[in-house]
Structures are given as C-alpha cells and as structure tokens.
Structure 1
Amino acid sequence: MGGICSRKREQQVMEDDLHRGVLGRYCRSTSTKWPGAKSFRSKPNNFPGGGTCPSLMELCIHKIGEDFRKYDSFSMLPPDLSQQIFNELVDAQCLTEAYIEAFRDCALRDVLLGEYPGVNDGWIDVISSQRSSLLSVDLSGSTVTDKGLRLLKDSSNLQSLTLDYCDQFSEHGLKYVSGLLNLTFLSIRKSSTVTPDGMRAFSSLVNLEKLDLERCSEIHGGFVHLKGLKKLESLNIACCKCIMDSDMQAISGLQKLTTLNAEGCKITSACLESIAALAALESLNLNRCCLSDDEFENISSLKTLKRLSLAFNRITDACLVHLKGLVNLEYLNLDSCKIGDEGLANLIGLTLLRSLVLSDTEVGSSGLRHISGLHKLEDLNLSFTSVNDASLKRLSGLTNLKSLNLDARQITDVGLANLTSKLFLVYIHCLSGLIKLDLFGARISDAGTVFLKSFKNLQFLEICGGGLTDGGVKHIKEMTSLTQLNLSQNCNLTDKTLELLSGMTALRSLNVSNSRITNEGLRYLKPLKNLRTLSLESCKVTAAEIKKLQSSDLPNLISFRPE
C-alpha cells in the first residue's frame, strides 16, 4: 500500500473493555473531543410542550438541578433521589468543590467522577462521608493525593475503585487501599507510583476479581504480592514494558484467572509454560510481545481459550500447529505475523471461530480454501494480504459473515463481481447478512459499485482507492441502510455526490475528504438529521459554513472537519 491510500500499520489500537469513567467521550474517527458538558437549561424541550411527558420524579430532579445552588444540603432527601441529582449535576458538569458540599452525608452509592475537572482531596472529604453506603468510586484523572486515599479507608463496603491517570499519590498512599477488603474491582492505569513495594497493599484484597494496571511502568517484581488473590479473574498489564518472564511465573497459580491482557509486555516465549498453568484462561492477549515459535506447544493445553491475540509477533506457520486443539476458540488475531497459506490448514478444525484477523500476513489466494469451512465466521480481516479477486469465490461457505475487510490494492471490480455474480447464486446468499465492508484501498471504479447493491443490510462502507466519480455514487445512494460511509481520497467527487447522498437519512458518519466538494454543496446535507460526524478535509469547504449548517439543520452534528 502506498500514497494516499496507505494506513499506518504500526499504529497501536489497545483493547479497552474496562470502565474508563462516565465523561471519557472521544470520537475515534477524528482527534476532536466530543463535547461532554450539557446544561439543564436545554432539558425543558423534553417536558410538556416538547413531545414527551416526564414523570413527577423527573420534574423534581430537573427543578432541583436548575436551582441546586440554592441548597446547602441534600442529606434530608432519600438516598436514591440524592443519587439521581448527583448524577445529573455530574453529567451537566455543574459541580464544583463548593457545590459538592451539599452532598455530604447523603448515603450515595456511586460517585463516578472519571475525567471530571478539578477533583482533588477536598472532594474526597465529601465522598468519604458516604461511609458504608459507598460502593463505587471513579477518580480517574484527578489530583488525589495520599491524604485523599487515607480519607477513603473507612469506606468499608467499597467494591469498585478507579484511579486511572492519577499521579499525585505515592506508593505509601496505596497502603490505605489495603483495608478496602470488599473491593472486587481496582484500576490504576498509567501510574508510575505503583511500585513493587506499593503492590504489597494488593495482597490483602482477597475478594478482588478484576485488577487493571495498564501502562504502569514500575511494577516488575511486584507480582509476588498477587499470589494470594485466589478470586482474581481478570488481569490487565498491557503496555507495562517492565514486565518480564519472572512476573508471569509469579502469577501462574491464579487458577480462577480467565482474562489476561499482556499486550506490549517484554515477555518471551519462555514464559508460555507459566501462562499454560492458568488452566481457566478464556481470553489471552499477547500482541506485540517478543514471541517466537519456541515453547508454543504449551499453549495447546489451554482448552478453555475462546479469545487469542498473537498480533505483531515473530511467529510463523510452525506456531499454528499448536493451535489445532484449541477447539473452543471464537476469536483469533494473527495480524502482522509471518503466517502463510499452508499454516492456515491448522485452523480447519476451529469450527467455532467467529472472528479471524489475518491482516498484513503472507496469506494469499490459496490460503482461503482452508478457512472456507469455518461456517460460524462473522468477522474476517484480509487487509494487506495477497488475496486476489479470483480467490474471493472461496468465501461461499461463510454464510454468517457480517464484516469483511478487503483493504488491498489488488482487489478490483472483478472481486466484487465474484462475490455477487448471478453465476454464483450461493454468494448472494452468503453475503446477504454483511453489515460492514471495508474496501479502503481497493481499486474499485464506478463500474464496480453496481455490485454493491447486493448487500442489502450493509451499514458500514469504505471505498477510498481513488477510482470513484459522481457516477459511481449513483449506485451507493440506493444503499439506504448505511449509517457510516467513507468515500475519502476519491478526488473526482463533486457537489453532485452530496446531492446524490441527500436521501440517505440513516447516515451518522460521512467522510468525503480530498474531493472537489465546495461550500455550495453543503446545502444537500440538510436532510441528514442523524449525521453526527462529517469530514470534508482538503475540500473547498470552510468551517464557518459547516457551523452554519450545524446550527440551522444538523442538530446532532457533534464532530466535523475542518473545524
């Protein structure tokens, strides 16, 4: 791949399944932060006269929210009502250190202030006053110090504590966490203050089920303090580059561990024996480690594995021999590994596979015959492989396929024809459930777009190879189920394209960057009331005109380029 159609293959995308905080709203398609704040003043539109009749409780909460500055304390209210008022104020970003004082002794259960501005030890004093009622606290991104953690030590019933990106407390402050014996979830991401000595505090948390230490840079040697956490089910140590094989050996006795994320750790194949001792593992992420084919026979003993990620390692076809017995696998990621066609023969028996990532491997056309029998496959990524047009006929057996990535320059109109041609009626049935089709860098022309009409349920489409004109968009406009459409890099598209797309009212995301679209064409976007993101970079379009359109006709548009 080259030129404008290339993508950065080394850009790391971390899995982030754990709780990040209620205000961490970012748009992944651009670098623009989605606005998190909203005002109570906007809510009357949902009240009488606005189309929706609220409950009496909603009216009360709304009224109190409007006038919250008038009240010194909410402690006389029922705890459930205080909780709802607190949540509303947090969501609207109306709380300050002064106003949170009104919630002292309110018996709140959940205080979720992740990424909330201005949170410090003064706030913690009020939070700790909830005492035994407090069950969940998220202070991500705050300036909490050792003093603040000490204030939490009497929250005896606390079950969940999140301290991600907090860098003002020390390893000594962690000793106050050690008394929170009912904790089942603890997350302290990207903290250099979590040291081997500080991890002693974790040894008493015998009820802990999930521990997240992602990007903690100083924890090598501290895993010995996790040995007694017999209830631990999930451990995330992704991007902890200090982790070594000896750390894996220290946790090999955690027999209830079902999820281990060690992506980006400096472990080698020598640690696979220790990992194999984790007999209950269902999800294992070893992306971007220093793994080779050596010792991989140990992995074959993990019969309970359902998810396995081995991307960006130095493994070859020889490694795949040891995956043959993992018959419960549902997800397998081999992105950027030295895997070829013959190695895929070892996947034939993995009949439960639902997702297979083969991007940027050495897989070619003949390799597809080995996966043609994986009938439960729903997601297949063949981007940056050598798969060609003719080999796409071998996808006929994948009747449950929902997502297909064919981001490769050698894929052309002929490939789409092979997937949908009436000479191969079975293929039409095969792809009738397709929801996502990625042809980002494929060489699709106007002639090829006629075959897209066979994908009746498609919601996501990318065609950015540069071969489209307004004529090809005539066929795309008939795909009214689309919610995300990326036609960037097609430099011959004009305002006519926006006119053709004006009837696609389900669209939530539209990208037509690097085209000949102008401010004049923006008027055709007015019917797209569901549009939330719009990218028209490197077009003859100004931010001022997009803002006018946003204010007058596109109320749901929250992210746009140029901005």
Structure 2
Amino acid sequence: MLGRMTQLTTLEIGNNLIDDNMVKLISEMKQLTCLDLEINQIFNEGAKSISELRNLTYLNIGNNPINDEGIESICQLDNLTDLTVSSLRITSKSAKFISKLNNLTFLNIAYNNIGDEGAKFISEIKSLKILDISLNGISPIGAKSISELDQLTVLYISQNFGIGDEGARMISEMKQLNELYIQDCFIGNAGAISISRMDKLTHLDISENEIQIEGETVIRDMKHLSYLSIEYQCLYG
C-alpha cells in the first residue's frame, strides 16, 4: 500500500514492528525526504535499504537493533541535515562515519557508547547547531572536543558521569550556546561557577549534580535565563 503513495514526502512509521522486509518496500519510495522509523525491528540489512533513499534530509532510526555496520550504510545519505541514531549502542566507529555528513545541523546520538574518541569525530561536523550526546561515556577530554563546535547553539550532554567540574569548564567556553542540558554529570560548585559565566544561555538544566549553596547562588544570579532546572542537588553549606 505505501509503495503506491507516490505523493508522500514525509513518512512517520515509528513503533510499528517494522522489519527489514518492510523497509525494503519503503525504500522504493524514492521521493521521501523525511523518514521516522524509531522503535522498530530494523537490522543492518534494513539500514542498507534505507541508504537507497537518496533524497532524505531527515532520518530517525533510533531504538533499532542497528550497529556500526548499519550506520556505515546510512552515512551514504549525504543530503541529511537531521539525523537521530539514539539508543543503538554504536561506538566511535559510527561517529567516524557520521563525521563525514557535512550538511548535518541536528544530530541525536544519545545513549550509545562513542566515548571521547567518538566525541572527537563528532567535533569535525562544523555545521552542527543542535547536538544530543547524552550518556556516551564522555570525560573532560571529549567535552573539550565538543567545545570546538562554534556553530552549536543547543547542547544535551547529560549523564556523562565523567564530565565533572573540569568538563563543565570546557563546555563553559562555548559562549554562543543558548541552551545547555547537563544533568547528572557530577558537577560541583566549581563547575556551576564556570557555567554561570555563559551569558547567552536562556535555558539551563543542571539538575541531579552535586552543587551546594555557593554554586546554587551563582546559578541563581544568571538573570538572562528564562528556564532553569536545578533539582536534586546537595544544597547545604
């Protein structure tokens, strides 16, 4: 049925038990520019089929059993500007493939295992404006790499437990950021003080860290914020 809908340019078919055979049929819809296949049963063979959709600019394949081999196929889609590959358990090898997508402005690679090496590859995508790299085993070394993305305005880097105060200091060098989501990264007062100097931030989520009264005070003095979450801290003297 879908193959007959030649007028479609956008298809959202997430959470539908789509498998590789179904994806093969979808890959015949060469006119598609936007495709959402999140939370299905697509493996590397299905990823190869998706790579035939050369007009895609938007692709969400998060939460599928695809690994680095499948991402290599996906990265043949060099017109992509918006890519979600979250919760695939991919490694720095995939980050290297993705780094060749020079038109990307949005990348969600959260809940994977790319580490600091992968963060270095991602930092090569200078066109990025929005990045979600949460829960990827990133330390201050990876944070320094990410801080080199000077076009980035929105960054999600939560649940990278090795970030700490030093990583927060690296991220605070990104003076152009408007939104920062850095929950659960073992940030204390020193990291909070660094972040408080980011004078273009309008949205900040720094919840579930280890900030005490001193850090909370400087964050509270960020008068340019329109949104702040600072829940679940150690707010005592």
TM-score by length of 2: 0.92
Aligned-partner residue type, residue 315 of structure 1: I
Q: Which residue of 180, 200, 205 corresponds with 1:485?
A: 180
Aligned position for 2:130: 436
Kindly indicate whether the alpha-carbon contact (under 8 Å) linking 2:155 and 2:179 is maintained by their aligned counterparts in 1.
Answer: yes
Q: 2:60 aligns with which of 354, 357, 363?
A: 357
Give distance in 2, aligned partners of 1:458 and 1:318.
Answer: 37
Q: 1:445 aligns with which of 120, 139, 143?
A: 139
CA deviation profile, 1:360-383 (whole Å, cap 9, x unmatched): 101110012222221221111111
- Matching residue within 12, 18, 35 for 1:315: 18
Tell me how far apart the structure 2 counterparts of residues 527 and 352 of structure 1 sit (CA, whole Å): 47
Alpha-carbon shift at residue 395 of structure 1 (Å): 1.7
Tell me, yes or no, if the aligned pair for 1:413 and 1:443 is still in contact at 8 Å. Answer: yes
Counterpart position of 2:171: 476
**What is the identity percentage for the equivalent residue pairs of Structure 1 and Structure 2?**
26
Contact 2:95–2:114 at 8 Å: present in 1 too? Answer: no
| 1:438 aligned partner, one-letter code | D
Number of the residue aligned with 1:384: 87
* Counterpart selection for 1:338 from 35, 41, 64: 41
How far apart in 1 are the matches of 2:200 and 2:140? 23
Please say if residues 510 and 531 of structure 1, whose CA atoms lie closer than 8 Å, have aligned partners that are also in contact: yes
Change (3 A) 1:398 1:409: closer
Q: Which runs of structure 2 are paired with 1:188-203 in the superposition (5 Å)?
A: none
Q: Deviations over 1:168-206 (max 9, x none)?
A: xxxxxxxxxxxxxxxxxxxxxxxxxxxxxxxxxxxxxxx
Equivalent residue, structure 2, for 1:302: 5
Q: Which has the larger radius of gyration?
A: 1
Letter in 1 for 2:226: R
Distance (Å, rounded) in 2 between the aligned partners of 1:395 and 1:521 = 37
Q: What is the rounded CA distance, in whole Å, between the counterparts of 1:468 and 1:453 in structure 2? A: 13
Question: CA separation in 2, counterparts of 1:363 and 1:401?
Answer: 20
Shift of 1:417: 2.1
Residues 88 and 112, structure 2, Cα contact 8 Å, conserved in 1 = no
Q: Please report how far the alpha carbon of residue 541 of structure 1 lies from its aligned counterpart in structure 2 after TM superposition.
A: 3.8
Q: Deviations over 1:235-277 (max 9, x none)?
A: xxxxxxxxxxxxxxxxxxxxxxxxxxxxxxxxxxxxxxxxxxx
C-alpha contact (below 8 Å) 2:122/2:146 kept by paired residues: no
CA contact (8 A) 2:85 2:108 kept: yes
Distance in structure 1 (CA, Å) of the matches to 2:36 and 2:46: 14
Partner SS, residue 454 of structure 1: coil
Task: Give the superposition deviation at 1:526.
Answer: 5.9
TM-score, with structure 1 as normaliser: 0.40
Q: Does 1:412 align with 2:115?
A: yes
Q: Is the 8 A contact 1:384 1:407 kept in 2?
A: yes
**Partner residue, 2:194:** 500
| SS of residue matched to 2:86 | coil
Residues 388-432 of structure 1: CA deviation (Å, up to 9, x unaligned): 111221124311101111112422112112334xxxxxxx2xx11
Give the Cα–Cα distance (whole angstroms) in 2 for the partners of residues 384 and 496 of structure 1.
31
Number of the residue aligned with 1:514: 208
Please say if residues 442 and 464 of structure 1, whose CA atoms lie closer than 8 Å, have aligned partners that are also in contact: no
**Letter of the structure 1 residue corresponding to residue 190 of structure 2:** K
| More relative contact order, 1 or 2 (CA 8 Å, 6+ apart) | 2
- 1:527 CA displacement: 6.0
Residue 397 of structure 1 aligns to a residue whose secondary structure is: coil
**Would you say how many aligned residue pairs link Structure 1 and Structure 2?**
235
Q: 1:402 aligns with which of 94, 105, 110?
A: 105
Structure 1 residues 99-110: aligned runs within 5 Å: none
Letter in 1 for 2:36: N
- C-alpha distance in structure 2 between counterparts of 1:458 and 1:451, whole Å: 13
The question of whether the paired residues in 2 share the 8 Å contact of 1:374 and 1:397 is answered with no
Distance 1:477 1:457 in 2: 14
Query: Structure 1 residues 487, 396: closer, same or farther in 2, change over 3 A?
Result: closer
**Residue by residue, what CA displacement relative to the aligned partner does 1:472-507 show, whole Å, maximum 9, x if unpaired?**
11211111111111111123x111112111221111
Is contact 1:375-1:400 (8 Å) kept? Answer: yes
**Contact between 1:506 and 1:528, CA under 8 Å: does it hold in 2?**
no
Judging changes above 3 Å, is the alpha-carbon distance between structure 1 residues 502 and 395 closer, same or farther for their aligned structure 2 residues? same
Q: How do 1:23-172 residues align onto structure 2 when only pairs under 5 Å count?
A: none
> SS of the counterpart of 2:147?
helix
User: What stretches of structure 2 of length at least 5 have no aligned partner?
Assistant: none
Native 8 Å contact 1:460 1:482 kept in 2: yes
Cα distance in 2 between the residues matched to 1:389 and 1:310? 28
Shift of 1:519: 2.6
- Runs of 4+ with >4 A deviation: none
